Amino acid sequence: MSRRAYDNTRRAEQAQLTRRRVLDAARDLLTERGPAAVTMRDVAAHAGVSAETVKKAFGTKTALIKAVYDVTLAGDDEPIPMIDRPEIKAVRAATNPRDKLARYAAAARQIGERVGPMLAKVLAAARGGDPELTEFRTTINGERLIGAGHMVSHLASTGGLRADLDADRARDIVWTLISPEVYELLVNDRGWSPDQYEQWLAKALADALAP
């Protein structure tokens, strides 16, 4: 490797490490304080970098929150689509519709555990009328709808969807059941354990969708 290539690699690695520190710092502060009480300067100080570094990397606080959400949802910052991640591959590998939905519920539980504490604070602020966070909520709802549609299409293509159920209605059912609001209500508000949530979700999905 040439000296220039080595230097470029080192710079890229350092930039990635800095980005991770910023995202970790932002997640900690958002979970602790909520978005209204967190500034870009707060995140920079918590991460041990300059405010200019944070602004240059993310632009706005809303963009930073979205980046934190994306990384937290996935579990890491690797550029791997959710559909290609092990938990979703496990869904597709299952041969029985109810087993597929049980594995899908397990994946939803993992996502809920990862994003729940931070996302609850952000969604509460969105409901309070912050226009940028309202847009964030609309965006993640749309992304979840696409994911639910992929799941329903997979079920339908493998004979795992009830014949009397319209695909769009099935997608909306999945979209609702796996919503962060439902996870928050049951686990945070009603005190269900993650295991109880996963078991309930698996049964609710199977009862609603499976033949």
- Identical fold, 1-79 and 80-211: yes
Return the CATH fold of 80-211: Tetracycline Repressor; domain 2 (1.10.357)
Q: What is the rounded CA–CA span in Å between residue 154 and residue 40? A: 41
Sequence-distant (6+) residues with CB within 8 A of 43 are 22, 25, 26, 29, 54, 64
Confidence of residue 151 (pLDDT cuts 50, 70, 90): very high
CB 183 within 8 A of CB 197: yes
- Whole-number Å distance between alpha carbons of 169 and 60: 36
Average pLDDT over residues 75-103: 92
Q: According to the model, what pLDDT value does residue 79 have?
A: 82
Predicted confidence at residue 100, as pLDDT, reads 98
- Give the closest residue to 197 by CA, choosing from 112, 132, 124: 112
Average pLDDT over residues 134-149: 96
pLDDT score for 7: 56
On whether the CB atoms of residues 113 and 101 are closer than 8 A, the answer is no
In CATH, the number for domain 1-79 is 1.10.357.10
| Domain ranges within the chain, ordered by starting residue | 1-79, 80-211
pLDDT at 99: 98
Average pLDDT rounded to a whole number, residues 70-86:
88
Please report which confidence band the pLDDT of residue 204 belongs to, taking 50, 70 and 90 as the band edges.
very high
Q: What is the per-residue pLDDT for 76?
A: 87
- Predicted confidence (pLDDT) per residue in 11-41, tens digit: 778 889 999 999 999 999 999 999 999 999 9
